[in-house]
Amino acid sequence: MSQKVAFITGGNRGLGYQTALELGRADIKVVIGSRSLVHGEQALAKLRAADVKADVLLFDITRTASHSSAYSYFNGKFGRLDILVNNAGIAGGPFPGTGPEHRAADVPLDLLHQIFETNFFSTVALTKALLPLIKKSPAGRIVNLSSILGSLTLQSDPKSPIYHAKSFAYDASKSALNAFTVHLAYELRDTKIKVNSAHPGWVKTDMGGAQATLELSEGGRTSAALATLPDDGPTGGFFHLGKPLPW
């Protein structure tokens, strides 16, 4: 099969769906992972109505069995995976907000564990599980959906526009994910695989809220661009709409 194959976790709605739409328009076969098969099928119908070649996979990133199922699916059907977009993630509470999940001093530890399990540990585990298939791609691409809120540089700078936008549990999970990007890109530096973190922007999704500055139609552009980088494109970076962001 000459057509590239992409797997997008949490691809049935929001940023994941938009990324699937963008990649599908680039003639890439997209497989969306969805915790609900009903919602996944609804998203699939919309993608196919837009002439996107797509499939849906029942998938929960927090379940190891789902990782194994994903590996078996892509290995059996395609023999490789060209693009992995680690899009699935949770905020843990209303954002912006004032709940304890936003404060480092009294964040509930069980909530911190829950957010890290989805946004970091499970994402690392899935990437490790699928990496053998990505290595079989002529030009593998791994995109980790991060956030500018995970930038330690900007979070610690009083002059930064996000200095007061603190949400400890979520921000820390994205900082950890950025570290994974840096380390994995280094380990794969002598291969054709590129690993990058994406900040989609403040997008009007269920997580971003109605006050966000970007429309959903703009939300998938950064992920799609990093998923389709040319051979001389960057690796081990943090980007928003083509512009590098500080760690």
Q: Which CATH superfamily is domain 5-244 in?
A: NAD(P)-binding Rossmann-like Domain (3.40.50.720)
Per-residue pLDDT tens over the stretch 14-35: 889 999 999 999 999 999 999 9
Residues 122/62, Cβ–Cβ less than 8 Å: yes
Residues 84/141, Cβ–Cβ less than 8 Å: yes
Per-residue pLDDT tens over the stretch 58-117: 999 999 999 999 999 999 999 999 999 999 999 877 766 677 878 899 999 999 999 999
What DSSP letter does each residue of 15-48 carry, written as one string? HHHHHHHHHHHTT-EEEEEES-HHHHHHHHHHHH
> Distance between the two ends of the chain, CA-based, in angstroms?
38
Q: Where are the domains positioned within the chain?
A: 5-244
